[in-house]
Structure 1
Amino acid sequence: MDVVALEKTEEYQGRYRVERTLGAGGMGVVYLAEDIKLGRKVAIKQLRSDLTGNSAEARFRSEAQLLARLNHPNIVRLYDVLEEKHSIALVMELVEGVTLKEWMRENSPTLVEKLDLLMQICQGLGKAHCLGIIHRDLKPENILVTIDGVAKITDFGIAKALDCDEQLTREDHIAGSVQAMSPEQLQGTKLDARSDLFSLGSIAYEILCGAKPFKRDDMNALAFAHHITSKPHIPAHQAWPEIPKPLSALLDRLLGKHPEQRPDNAQQVFEALELVRKHGIDDSTLQYSETVTQLLIKPRKKRGRLSLILGGFAALSLSAYWAWHTLMQLPPQYIAVLPIEINGNIPGGENNKALIKALVRQALVSTPAKLKSSALISFDHEENDNFDKQLKELQILGTTDVLFARLDCIEQRCNIELQRINPQDSRITGQTSFTFLTNRPQEAQYSIGTSAIDLFPSNYKEGEFSDIKMAPADYAMYLSTISKLATPEIQVSTDDSDLDLLEELISKYPQNANLYRSYADVALARWVGTNNKKFLTYALGVLANAEENGLDKTAILEARLVIKSVGNDIEGFKKTIHELQSIGYPSANLYTQFSRFLYIQGDYTQGAIYGQQAIDLNPSSAHSHYVLAMNQVAAGNYVDARDTLKKIVELSPGYWVAYALLGVIELETGNLSAAEIAISSIPEESRTWGSQVNLGTIFFLQGKYSKSLDIYLKELETSPENLLILNQIAETYLMLSDRSKAREIFTQIIRLTNDSSELRPKRYRAGAFAYLGKTSDSIALIMELLRKSPDDTYVKHTATQVYALAGEWQSASYYLEQLLEQKMSIEWFALPAFQQICNQPQVSQVVLEKLCNRRTSPKELTSS
């Protein structure tokens, strides 16, 4: 079929309706078309009919083969290859936007926008290089920019795989634009990925400086090529006198004449740009500030000079961000509060005893905020745990100090003994005792608070402890509210009236810091119980008022950090952590919090980096090890995760969540017996609903669907809107051939995730759409998730199902291959969505060998 015929065809190969021509080049024509089956617009790039049979056709086929291996948000995707007689066409992602050349001509972007675009190009290029693909024609015309500012690399027509023959055709050595080619490409010598980095440098120079690095004037192509290979580029500061020094240095290295003078890979360039982006940009002007220049190291005049700003940029960006100041000279303290012990009789019975416990606990948990370089460690103990066991658990959490209070009461008088204990050896490092009256609770709280602070060295004290007294009736209501927070079922023991009461008290006593912290705690409890984010918004508003009133900064920042940790405001979370760091808050605690936050956001690579930073600072913390392991498992890094979990077990043989996570690893890698042993080793009373669900999943993967369904339904009774459990139930119904019930559950999942902006709910929603036949919705959603979390094991697993159900076999095979390569077991691919993959011609050799040729039926699994 020739070009004219395709343009006039209403429907091509029964699937694509051609609408109009988008553009034409030397090798082919690009059309706008509609994919009738999936209801989406696509671009069809067809080889000119007069070029078939020569090297151009080989280039087209090579481009298709290379693009089939590439799936990245910053690379234009290949959907399909169409062949008819001697005609070949590529069906590709339609990018609504302009070329980078047009973008530079039509916009006046800020430095931030320029850096963001360059960082995206680095990420796309890095993906290609990781797969052994060199673009060889990287230039502004071959980069598209969407209307949302997303950069996408296109036109891999002369790209070359590193494991290919040296050339497709002889002319390919000098194929491409001279301005975009590296010296070694112009000279026809062997290329590696650093050739593309030269081209990237040329693009970066043009974006940042508004000019090209080599002036052509009236030189012909041959003369200009000689100029590039032998003459230096125009110094960046001549084109842009105000160019930041780090960017000028980076351009010099990218445009080095020899590959060894350039960075090793695109990731190093990304990290360099990211450092300038994060630490050298003024938030108000979005332009460069000098804060990052001092981090740079001048180059050595040797072959190893690459280390100047690139080799160490990852480490520099971390240390620069956390800003190690002199405030960190005090050794950090991680303080926990043991359950309050009361003996004797108190007027008012158990209810009044609970109020006194709340009073004492409130005074003690406020202590770390009054001390420099100190953080509160949250601690949930089992009701029957003895004193020694509690200390042991706190030891493995990395706790340095424990506060313990024992009360002996007779009527209105209570004698309190306060102790500061070192959990490492159970030694008492400080103690005091005194008597207070229960009918004067505010005075008691003040005395307990000041006495607790006095147990610590004087150089840790922030200043004099003070508090704002409330009217007795108001304090009684406040005490009643915070006593609810000490109960295990906080999500049902608090209600909106508690927030109303605290708001009223804050209006009366705007200088009382305890009220603001308590409001944040209750708001968080309401969010836990309802999943309604309005409560988080309320809390942030109240805490903002606290800052305006000049209240204790550490306490307010701590409360804000907790609220931010369960949301999606990454920049806000970073800012709060940075503020805490700047006033001397212990870094290990912040690193662990940030690692956990990134895990929730689906950024497992960065989550693991910060988790390791926390461990480096506090090696005895099993909790930090556990958060690191969570990120490693989610990213499919099972080998390192096993090592991390082994260290946890060495630190604490009774840290049961580590066994549960080990069970997840064994589950995903198909070691079902080992998974069952790991989970079953957890005492039944210590198993969470998640462990029980994983036990059900073991039976599911063994083909024991009825047994797994019983477990899921039992857990659903106590958590009726749990998306994980609902998804497992729906998939189990599919395996039991009860499609009607499966559809009911998938419909419920869509209803429950209607307003969610978080990764996990969206993943379940994408799968539900796919199984309900809403193909366009499912593909759009899974593409969004893949852009956000390309390394997420579970997102890739859902993507495989979505594309398989849509008949997009090439994409399904692509993600399935990734999962198999990271050692995910073939048992995870028993669902109906996967059943037809092995019958498709697009399936990769890896999938054929690792799945199709080894697939075992569920019946065989059950019998084994």
Structure 2
Amino acid sequence: MIDPSLHTDSLVADRYRVIKRIGQGGMGQVFLAQDEQLDRPVAIKQLRGDEDNAKALHRFQREAKFLAKLNHPCIVQVYDYVTEENGGSLIMEYIDGVDLARKLREEATSMAQRLQWLYQIMAGLACAHASGILHRDLKPENILVSRNGNAKLTDFGIAREQQQNTELTQAVIGSYAYMSPEQIADEPLDFKSDLFSFGIVAYSVLLEQHPFGATGNTLKLLQNISTGPLNQDALENSKLPDELKSLLQNLLAKDKTARPDSSQQVCEQLAYICQEYPLSETLEGGMETAELPPLTLFTRHTAQALPLPKPRKRHWLTVTATLLIAVAAGVWFTGQGSAPGLIPQAVAVLPPRFSTDGELADSDQRLVGGTLYQAAQQSVVQLPGTEAIPRFEVDSQTGEPFQILTALAAKELIVTDVFCNLTWCDISINRLAPAAQGQRLKVLASANFRTTVDRYAMLAERVHLHINQLYDYKSDVQLDLPDENEYRVFAEQYQQYYSAGANTSQLDALDTLSTKTKAWASVQILYREIALDLYHDTGNDQALTRLEQFLPAKNRTDTEAQLLNQFALARSQKDFAQARHWLERLEQQGLDHSALMELEGLLALSESNYPVAIDNFRQSAQLRPSVHNYFRLSMASWLNGDIEPARDYISRAHQLNPADHKTNRFRGVIALWEGRLDEAHEALSQALESERSAIVLNNLGVVLLLQGDYNGSKKQLQDALKIAPGDEQTLFNLADAHKLNGELKTAQGLYTQVAEQTATFNDAYSLRLNAQALAHLGQYSEAIAAYQQARELDPDSGDTHYTGALVYALAGEKISARLSTQAALKSGMGEAWFALPWFSEVCDEQQVDCLAL
């Protein structure tokens, strides 16, 4: 039986040493303890085992089950569940902090900080919903805020899986002040009930009052939530941005069909609002709020992808060098190079495959899998004559191993199979290559071994030794790994980064390592990848500053890995002369030719020297004709204005892997630009299956508009605006759809909004959009002036020529419109763009075919 008098120094499950009690309730208590096996603090949530708690124990056990399914930085992680005859203890991640309700009571917090907490809460909720789990008791008391300022969801004790219909689904449970109307009415619940509860939390956090009135009278409050009006006055009188006010109103709709479609959608809107409106304020009493650190966006996790922050200026058809650089940023190859004249053999390490019959907890499985993958990848890197294909390339491919090998243009694969019970794992590492005939693989060499579950440094060492055996390689270099505790810190941050994306807490954890461990190449590479991701996601230079401080001083940069890190840092800092210096050092050090070509191409791309980038990427594609290399070559060609080669290269990438979403997205962009609408529709629809982003929805909306499906176009564009509210290009395209559908008043309103939003910007993109909107509003002089400014900044762009054609056509200046039309067509723009009604008089006057060049 669980000991009801658990006290300091008690030992739970022969492993968890109690330090002190940190909470107590009617059914149990919570303790801070130390996990003596893994040397980490944990929280023990203990439920008293008596008859009164029988049903609660059932829910308690289910909470352990639910939390075990969830792995997200915004959800408190469960480590273990200890069950005995009449009770149970849940062993959980210890959060050194307080609940959100207390945080708001005791501390002055900025509006920006509150917005970040709301984003993080919704990110955790989105992960739970993606796993089929409803929370059903969302309230500030069930949200913990750690000392580093991150919010985490906890207390899934009354949660349930949506597909289950247990007796608990029929009971009105939860916290009255945060219930949804359907929860109060004892109706079946779905994820939109959690969205309503989140709406109450968000309203309360942002406006410091309940959206449906005072909470002193429970019955009155329940009635107000069910049928009473929302407190619109407080909302309208607040200084919140309109997008946020609209989101709160939608979340708090009585009719759940009027609420947002999903938690993912809400998460994307909050990400946009946090980036678009970095709110600052002065609190009552004149106290200034502290500067808020960069928004932590969790962009990768196992259940559901979360949005990247959206830049303010974005064009549905303009592909910038920044996008390409971000796609190609991962440079993980380091090693001993190849003999002169030899081409390194490309080897891809696939993520480990775990047996479904294993007993290992998900959290431990992820750590074991991450250690296996990283150790195998780094071992291949160090083999002479091999090139380890970066993980970001491998992760983007799907299908059977032979299909992945073909898409990566790899010569060999490393495939790992794992079976684990609670204490040990059997591991099989196989080296595979194409068989002589057919689409089959053969085993070149295989290694099998057993290891204990929680010795990660030892596991990495054994992987390294067995990979060397697979290649019959005997290294003269002694493997020098960190000790077990420090290696675990590295392994945890590696796993978190690849499952949840970059966040500053990962850098904080790596900063705690010893000087010796910080000097380990794998730690420095991981720190570099996290820091650069944070920089590209947030635009905050602090991530680059931290990376520069973490890496060795420039005069102590000697190894290939260190030189690669410094090159990546200098390129991100736009210090191209310094990047060139590191590139020369790498060449002197003997970095193989194919790796040098890739780095030359990336540097040329950063410098907007597209011909040099194309030349290097073309050579890379000749050496390794992979999806990634063809995609990168296509993008560089497009940026250089070489439309036909860009189309050819993206077609080759598509043939290698027809399901690759980034290939389909860009294939759709090129086809749309050239007016091949059916192909654009097919490619973008396929991309949408894997990537429901504003950019894809926007492009698909334009395709439908040009095809004459105005209602279908409006639907896609409206969906895009849900993800990126207020985006000028999407609003303009939607205005076109309304105008073509005869809804002139709505179109005029949208054109006016676009004109006003772009009026104060002087970049070519904004000027083009401003000119087109003004022309549709009949303000021709102002439209022509904006177009001429855009032409001065970007005279050769097809976008600029098209803008001129549209502005002059609407203004009735047909000769100028015809000249601009012909210039746009020469740039590669398709005839379909000029089938819109506003070009009809230009093309038909005196039987002149303006589309004939």
- TM-score of the two chains, using structure 2 as the length reference: 0.50
- The structure whose Rg is larger is 1
Return the structure number with greater relative CO, CA threshold 8 A, min gap 6: 2
